[in-house]
Structure 1
Amino acid sequence: MKVRKESSRILKPIYEGTPPPTNGYIPLSVFDKVTYDTHIAVIYAYRPPTPPNTTLELGLQKALSVYREWAGRLGKNDKGDSVILLNDEGVRFVEASVDSTLAESMPFKPSSTLLALHPSLKGVAELVQVQLTKFTCGSLAVGFTGHHLVADGHATSNFLVAWGQVCRGLEISSLPLHDRTIFSPRDLPSFEFEHEGVEFMSKKLKKDYPLVDNLVDDIVVHKVHFTLEFLAKLKAKASSMNGTDKPYSTFESLVAHLWRAITKARSLNNFETTNVRISVNGRTRLNPRVPNEYFGNLVLWALPSAKVKDLLREPLPYAAKLIHDAVAEVNNNYFKSFIDFANYKVEEEDLIPTADVDESILCPNLEVHSWLRFPFYDLDFGGGCPYIFMPSYFPTEGLMFLLPSFIGDGSIDAFIPLFQDNLASFKQICYSQDNLESLMLSYL
């Protein structure tokens, strides 16, 4: 797939009435500061007929007048604090074309060719970039990149839906909440949970990653489709020993299965410890509840862990319970403990975030990003919902993305980066609990 870039320009917000001043800023919250300092890219594909590029361009400029943060820049205020400068310097807008049909390029498989469908993520001042790529059949690919310090997946998906609404001539149905100062520490701080080693670590423990190009080149991103029938059986099996009438969630059951399958495929040492980093949305967990319209980052991480021998020796419900309990622990008390810790201890103890964009190999651990509940598929520019939605190519070994399948039947697609040498073993067991359990028995 050869993509030809035809134009690249900066788009600025278009306001109704008098534009706001451009010397303001929004301070980054403790949740913004602890997340990944990088751009995240997603790709949409639409079948014809698609609206003209000018419709998407104008709609984007109008949406930016409501979501001004995206049109700003990261910077510092006069006190040296990290902020989003509301200077309206704009976003990058690229138009491109491909001399082939979408069908000839489909299915979009997780490979480096996807990188041509959106602008580069490196050394970018703009906080949002959009690339519109037209195919000869009239289909359209929309590559979107957004800086993670500005917004998490939930907030970003709300913005994308709003962009589509504006393109269709509609009012934005849910206006964003911009106030990032609502997360104040308590007068009497209480550090009820351990945050060093989870969200923060000592600067002394910061890794200097060696040149591992030969290892990175050996990483492949494998896409796995889990049918609704498979997921139902998996959920029933995972929940068979939990001792309550309430089953584990599909997410918990699937992550438990993948944790075991990938651990087995990696052939790890029996006494090694493995963990899974799972993002947890705080909007529904904080008390009082934070509105879904909150625009920014509001995510912390659950970190279930186990010895390899226990994870593989025990049946699926063991891993499911570890995940369920760890996620449940990231509750209102945990979020408020984090807010206190981030305000009172991080600077005092010279700590830095554990979220590390330079880490390309997570083994023996995993990290999972679930986009199962985000309304990404609701991005309609006027020609209907997308035919495909997927992450770009992120070859970080062990970094998984879970998405609802575009089939729309409740099935799930998982994007799983693994070493090439581990792929055959993973394929053998990822679709079959029977195969996995028989391998576990042979392991014993």
Structure 2
Amino acid sequence: MPGDPKAMMVRVESSRLVKPSDQGHPPPTTLRVPLSIFDKVTYDTHIAVIYAFRPPIPSNSMVEKGLSRVLSEYREWAGRLGKDPEGNPFILLNDEGVRFIEASADTTLDKAMPFKPSAALLSFHPSLHGVAELVQVQLTRFTCGSLMVGFTAHHLVADGHATSNFLVAWGLASRGLAIDPLPLHDRASFFVPRSPPRLEFKHRGVEFMTRNKFDKGKDNPLKDDIVVHRVHFTKEFLHKLKAQASLGSKSNRPYTTFESLVAHLWRLVTRARGLDGCETTHVRISVNGRTRLSPRVPNEYFGNLVLWAFPRAKVAELIGKPLQFAAELIHDEVAKVNDGYFRSFIDFASSGVVESENLVPTADMGKSVLCPNLEVDSWLRFPFYDLDFGGGAPPYYFMPSYFPVEGMLFILPSSMGDGSIDAFVPLFCHSVDAFKQDCYSLV
């Protein structure tokens, strides 16, 4: 059945560790890189993405050679996580290596496409659980010569921006080209707290919460009823949506495509869930600090540098008011996560309060249900499609792996390359029909 990976057999041929290439002067393997406050506040989990490439594709050995070479510039990925006697987390640069798996599929890529978001996708990348390696790669060859690349990376080491830069650099290294730009590894000097500290914003209950709250309600007996629905928004629809969302904008400037689409999806999912109008719903939206901090942090910074905006509304207001109401909420809350907010977070997270009060991050992948809230992970600005191992063409297909967390949405550019956008929307089965019914409605 096309689009159903269950209909094919994926067989693992080999598995080994790939270590950074020796550039002539082996570096010490006892160095420890302390995690920054932004590393420690993010998701403590692996994230997986899947690429598909059509031939001509270089051999697995060339891709492996490029991986070894790029790891010499990104040694953190070849290291291991650890903690010092005081419990402070760090990355040990011991060059233990990343997991490299070669596999084969018993069909052509055309017969397998398009891939539906389902548990069968998990066969295209290594497990995300119980692994010491910080990066894992699986190359799956199809009978037509096409290649699937399953890539997993630990979020504590780097955010999506930094990880996508690494992937582009891997392609350069595989083609024998210079890795440019090189990553910036300084995880300390950009985030020095002010003296005296100025805690100008609330951070308890935003980035941090008490451990008791964190431990409650991590699972849901209905998690098996969650399906991931992929929806495609054409460039033409997005233009109309943006125009609709921007009617009466108080700044007299149109809202962005991202703000307009998230507003649309927020209202769609909220309506499909059938929530009580008196409930409050919020959306967790990542904000990249590289462009928010002043002076700006270079784009080459390797690590995590993300905080979150939390636009919120009563369900009745969100659904009952026009689209521009939601777009304005999103725009205003994202704008508030500015240099001052980031500096306040740095002061708070560096003050010792987190440790003394036993606070933990609110970023938690342990939950399977986010209702009545949403999280939106936008990959619209990441250069994931710039990965080229030597075939001379962008990836034929790119998507997140299967993450059935109700309410955790992924938004990314469509592989069509025409300005359209794909959204991966996990919902309870009973909400899907209602979501589909209104998905392309601008009313």
Query: Normalization by structure 1: what TM-score?
Result: 0.96
Q: CA deviation at 1:210?
A: 6.5
CA deviations 1:285-327 (Å, max 9, x no partner) are 0011000000000000000000001101110010000000000
Q: Quote the residue 1:437 is aligned against.
A: none
Q: CA deviation at 1:104?
A: 1.1
Pick the aligned partner of 1:387 from 384, 396, 408.
396
Kept after mapping to 1: 8 A contact 2:218/2:368: no
Q: CA deviation at 1:244?
A: 2.8
Q: Where does 1:25-424 land on structure 2 (aligned, <5 Å)?
A: 25-77=32-84, 79-182=86-189, 183-209=191-217, 212-213=220-221, 215-344=222-351, 345-383=353-391, 384-424=393-433
Please identify runs of 4+ aligned residues in structure 1 that moved more than 3 A: 77-80, 208-213
CA deviations 1:332-367 (Å, max 9, x no partner) are 000000011111121232211011121000000000
Kept after mapping to 1: 8 A contact 2:231/2:423: yes
Q: Quote the residue 1:431 is aligned against.
A: 440
CA deviations 1:49-84 (Å, max 9, x no partner) are 111000000000000000000000000235542100
Amino acid aligned to 2:334: V
CA distance in structure 2 between the aligned counterparts of 1:88 and 1:252, rounded to whole angstroms:
41
Kept after mapping to 2: 8 A contact 1:302/1:330: yes
Q: Quote the residue 1:440 is aligned against.
A: none
Amino acid aligned to 2:107: S
CA distance in structure 2 between the aligned counterparts of 1:411 and 1:331, rounded to whole angstroms:
29
Q: Which SS does the other structure have where 1:347 is aligned?
A: helix
Amino acid aligned to 2:420: S
CA distance in structure 1 between the aligned counterparts of 2:146 and 2:69, rounded to whole angstroms:
24
CA distance in structure 2 between the aligned counterparts of 1:109 and 1:407, rounded to whole angstroms:
16
Percentage of pairs with the same residue? 68
Amino acid aligned to 2:228: V
**How many residues in Structure 1 have an aligned counterpart in Structure 2?**
433
Where structure 2 has 5 or more consecutive residues not aligned to the other structure, the ranges are 1-7
Amino acid aligned to 1:392: S
CA distance in structure 1 between the aligned counterparts of 2:389 and 2:100, rounded to whole angstroms:
16
Amino acid aligned to 2:100: F
Where structure 1 has 5 or more consecutive residues not aligned to the other structure, the ranges are 435-444
Kept after mapping to 2: 8 A contact 1:209/1:358: no
Q: Which SS does the other structure have where 2:96 is aligned?
A: coil
Summarize the Cα distance change of 1:80–1:203 in structure 2 as closer, same or farther, 3 Å threshold: closer
Q: Which SS does the other structure have where 1:6 is aligned?
A: strand
Q: Quote the residue 1:439 is aligned against.
A: none
